Structure 1
């Protein structure tokens, strides 16, 4: 199973690293991460951009999928995601916990909850469905 450090290194030069997402835990069926609320993640209205929250949740679900791929799988692609935004932030750190709901041979479903570290308030509920990919058989 990949470690948080391996995922952080993997994402360093891509969107998760650019936004400042830090993976803090990878376990069986669970990934945790955090994201500091900083100016470049804000919407023009002065609140944390919904896209920043979705990216945090999607990153946790995606890394969870990678850590849980069945034998012989080569990767995955997201086929659906949904988020319900219940709150936002202007400062502090937001945290995400993604948990596997279904780990099948062909699909995985992950639920993620994003909360504000200081207040403990739930900011978003997220569900992601991934299709597991396999190498094309040799002809």
Structure 2
């Protein structure tokens, strides 16, 4: 079994509590699983996350992707010494979703001392790919 890459001080309860009173909470994102090398979250497809044609808004998918990538990156650094901020994000929207729940999963492509790159795949309830995103994070010293 691989060693977990995330610091054990981070829990689902803590991450979800930290998200209170933020955009993450406002649009219904809930972190659901922390694995050895991944973080998962869900987001409803409802009035908060659809565009005027009643399909999942691409921007909402990007919010889910950025939330997952940012949390995952932060969970790999000592929060007393470092923090992570987004440098760049892109997204390819592949399939429309009109209702239900989407799930995102963030996995690392590169975890370095100064930068990190995460891939986020978002799927619908049938596990079909809806969006694929990549975020580059800067790792910043607090001192």
* TM-score (norm. length: structure 1): 0.91
**1-side partners of 2:79 and 2:63: how far apart?**
27
TM-superposed deviation, 1:37: 1.1
Match of 2:116 among 105, 108, 117: 108
Structure 1 pair 43–135 and aligned structure 2 pair: CA distance change class (3 A)? same
Instruction: Give RMSD over aligned pairs.
Output: 1.4
2:84 maps to which of 76, 80, 94: 76
Aligned length: 135
> Deviations 1:67-125 (Å, cap 9, x if unpaired)?
112686420111111111101211111000100111111011100100001x2210000
Which runs of structure 2 are paired with 1:1-139 in the superposition (5 Å)?
Answer: 1=8, 2-69=10-77, 73-117=81-125, 119-136=126-143
Describe the shift of the 1:70–1:107 C-alpha distance in structure 2 as closer, same or farther (beyond 3 A). Answer: farther
Q: TM-score, normalised by structure 2?
A: 0.89
Alpha-carbon distance in structure 1 between the residues aligned to 2:113 and 2:36: 16
Unaligned runs of 5+ in 1: none
SS of 1:39's equivalent?
A: coil
What is the rounded CA distance, in whole Å, between the counterparts of 1:66 and 1:28 in structure 2?
Answer: 15
Structure 2 CA distance for partners of 1:107 and 1:73, relative to 1, 3 Å: farther
SS in 2 for 1:40: coil
Q: CA deviation at 1:38?
A: 1.1
Q: Which has the higher helix share?
A: 1
For residues 89 and 127 of structure 1, the distance between their equivalents in structure 2, rounded to whole angstroms, comes to 20
